[in-house]
A and B are shown apart, each in its own frame.
Chain A
């Protein structure tokens, strides 16, 4: 379903629809230009400030370009200095978090989606609803006992391993929903044909459903990748600056020092955002697909 909506998004932008510019389209163009500039103001500040030296950091120079473009802020933000906590360890821990967590939750979602779309059992709709409600859970409503519970089970080391587990668990509702909607579009005849050929439940999943799942996996992986990379709430309750992901180390950099070092903070913010922006630029079409699925019903 997510993918179908994506088709709709691009459907009417096909080349050949461009007409001679009218007054209406010129006004629309200027308005869009205006809004785009407004939206990009913070991006200008981020980039420009990250290249400014201490001398440029005065209020009067706030909106000027750097008198001298320097990369010290970037170096310091990445590998740290006396007053600036390094972002590199946080970035590496975020990668170690996000890769297994997104893969595992996509796999789990795919398995669940297959059952709820193609292999229903008595009361399966009720079970599906039972899972789905987890999507609306404000995590504050479970955090106190959850922290206690994770402390008491010592199978999982604290830090990134616990976060992987938690993101996989709380990702179940959304990934199940996206895959169920996606698999509904696989023709039932395909499943029946496999069954006639003697393929059982698992064979059908492996040889018919999985090979047809690539777009579904792309949408789910992007969705989970960006939301886990950007998560702060679980990170702040289950990790600290020495074993947490980049959202924690970045917040530590930006809020930690008494005298705010905006140059290094903004370089750090750009470093921390680089992977999600890259995913957005390269796979933006699917990104929108994930967003739509995240809105439950579009």
Chain B
């Protein structure tokens, strides 16, 4: 026993504070959140404890998931994720492919394409709110005005100010910010393809496109999978951009994270906690199979 402590005591003591903090602030908080989501705390008086609350089981979940309002948020989240994923993967992949071979100004291009992600979503939102102004014709500014100037008038549209598709305009901004991230991931993937493999491909007579198609692209699958996970995970937390380009109260661009913020603001703690738990559930469905897959591939 003494031996155990003299050997493992110091390392355990060193990680203990972190373990305790994560235990409280991640796991215990999740538990508290789930507990709150199963109560009927819908008013400020109940939130402050002035009025009693009761246990209602899964009632909030069924009510929320059954409501048109929240289904609209989930539909928006899905659309946002599809555009965000498709856009960042397409641009990120093409850019990294273009940069994979020597080209003039390579380092400068790489820096420019990566740069948008150095700024906050809030700062980006300031300029994109101006660019995505929904005015058209005479009073158009932003991108709609730019379309007029370059003679592409037919491209003018309402951007985020559209109930069915508006959220994809916000996702477009997220694509602008995060494609560079995916590019950096794919570039690392391209660089990770062993030179012997490229050589072997060439010896077998593969040229240009064939070399990419049959030798290099298949090597990028793990990177592509990581990118999908990272971007999808970011997408579920979509919040900052919507707050700064549109605003929380706009029905057009509502997603679950916005609902959570609004519920919390109106002291509807039960529904706020329910939305939070639903988001956690979606993340778990996405992440756990991935982690299992990765740890299997490792061992």
Contact = CB atoms under 8 A, between A and B. Distances in A.
A247 B10 CA distance: 40
A292 B184 contact: yes
B18 A176 contact: yes
A143 B264 contact: yes
Contacts of A291: 117, 181, 184-185
Interface in A197-211: 200-202
B36 A145 contact: yes
Interface of B: 8, 10-12, 14-15, 17-19, 21-22, 25-26, 29-30, 32-33, 36, 91, 95, 98-107, 109, 111-131, 135, 138-142, 145-146, 149, 176, 181, 184-185, 187-189, 191-192, 208, 222-223, 226-227, 229-230, 233, 236-237, 239-240, 243-244, 247, 256-257, 260-261, 264, 269, 272-273, 275-277, 279-280, 283, 287, 294
B137 to A, nearest CB: 10
A32 B183 CA distance: 13
Given A115-B15, A138-B257, A226-B118, 12 more contacts: A18-B102, A29-B105, A36-B109, A36-B113, A121-B12, A140-B237, A145-B36, A173-B22, A229-B120, A250-B122, A255-B247, A298-B189
Interface residues of A, number: 103
B118 A119 contact: no
B299 to A, nearest CB: 11
Contacts, number: 286
Nearest to B113: A39
Contacts of A146: 25, 29
A272 B123 contact: yes
Contacts of B129: 254, 260
B264 A295 contact: no
Contacts of A287: 114, 118
Most buried by A among B91, B103, B113: B103
A247 B124 CA distance: 11
Contacts of A214: none
Interface stretch (A78-86, A156-164, A185-193, A276-284): A276-284
A138 B280 contact: yes
A126 B256 CA distance: 32
A144 B102 contact: no
Main secondary structure of the interface of A (DSSP, over half): helix
Interface in A74-121: 108, 111-112, 114-116, 119-121
A137 B23 CA distance: 13
B172 to A, nearest CB: 12
A172 B27 CA distance: 14
Given A49-B130, A233-B240, A28 B11 contact: no
A200 B233 CA distance: 41
Nearest to A277: B118
Contact of B279 (A41, A140, A270): A140
A233 B279 CA distance: 15
Interface of A: 5, 8-9, 11-13, 17-19, 21, 24-25, 28-29, 31-33, 35-36, 39-42, 45-46, 49, 59, 62-63, 108, 111-112, 114-116, 119-122, 124, 127, 130-131, 133-134, 136-147, 149, 166, 169-170, 172-173, 176, 200-202, 226, 229-233, 236-237, 247, 250-251, 254-255, 260, 262, 265-266, 268-270, 272-273, 276-277, 279-280, 284, 287-288, 291-292, 294-298
B118 A143 contact: no
A36 B25 CA distance: 42
Given A236-B261, A273-B123, A140 B118 contact: no
B192 to A, nearest CB: 6
Given A42-B128, A298-B223, A144 B18 contact: no
A111 B14 contact: yes
B232 to A, nearest CB: 11
A141 B185 contact: no
A254 B125 contact: yes
A136 B102 contact: no
Most buried by B among A45, A119, A120, A136: A136
